[in-house]
Structure 1
């Protein structure tokens, strides 16, 4: 099928000929628009003690960097629930092994699938929350608006990086 003028590779966002604003400008505006939202506070009562501890730790780290807001609390809650599920699955696997015997037949332990699904969910949710190196570096790249080394170092320091 023949392409149209709209098909093909999307233009780079930092291309001066593109009508859209550069990523850095959009990121700066997003940060400004995000400033009015309330920070996340205490974990929901329905979480277990272990989940609450992880929830508080993440909130403590990310609230100081103004990354998470109260609107993100449901994503964070699901993230800590998935971490808890993965830990439970690991315990079952350690206790019973990767394979189990049922009616003298060897089968894969269902906890392996539970663990795999939880790990996928953790990766996806964690990335949404800025909890992996790639998403954090993306946040840093979006906020950096010029090549001034001092500005870059300040941003890295605010995000918890640096030497």
Structure 2
């Protein structure tokens, strides 16, 4: 509903330098509340070896920035599972084609819908993690030092960088 506290863009919880006092305070509280969460370590055993490889790669990249925490592991697990589903659907489409024949009638291969749904889920989950250029630049813009003296800013040091 328009005009409610829940409407509009999500608050940027890392912008401690916001000119708006309430936003700045909310960002400082967010950083303080998140500092004690553990970083993600190893992938869940239930993932396939291919999924574990992707999981480890993502964790390695994002742990270097101090962005992912253990609480994010289930979302990350779902992300890599959706990537796996999309790869499986692509393999089925490659083998059988986009259309199949059933009772001499041409029909869309159900794997096409599976692939489309997986891609939507990948896009949505990936955006949450900063895995597209726009969301990544938004997330990482607050993790880059603001000065040229070589010192890291408060946000980077609080995030473990």
Please report the TM-score for the alignment, with normalisation by the length of structure 2.
0.75
Native 8 Å contact 2:65 2:143 kept in 1:
no
Whether 1:150 aligns to 2:148 is yes
Q: Kindly provide the CA deviation profile for residues 122-158 of structure 1, in whole angstroms up to 9, marking residues without a partner as x.
A: 011111112221111111345579xx5538x968xx8
Q: Kindly provide the CA deviation profile for residues 99-136 of structure 1, in whole angstroms up to 9, marking residues without a partner as x.
A: 01100100000000000000000011111112221111
CA distance 1:154–1:95, change in 2 (3 Å) = farther
Aligned to 1:161: none
SS at match of 2:148: helix
Q: Which runs of 5+ in 1 are unaligned?
A: 1-5, 159-163
Query: Which ranges of 4 or more aligned residues in structure 1 deviate by more than 4 Å?
Result: 13-16, 142-145
Aligned to 1:117: 117
CA distance in 2, matches of 1:65, 1:144: 10
Aligned to 2:67: 67
CA distance 1:117–1:130, change in 2 (3 Å) = same
Greater shift, 101-110 or 123-132, is seen at 123-132
Alignment of structure 1 residues 51-66 onto 2, 5 Å:
51-66=51-66
Please report the TM-score for the alignment, with normalisation by the length of structure 1.
0.74
Q: Which runs of 5+ in 2 are unaligned?
A: 12-16, 157-161
Larger radius of gyration: 1
Please tell me the root mean square deviation across aligned C-alpha atoms, in Å.
Answer: 3.1
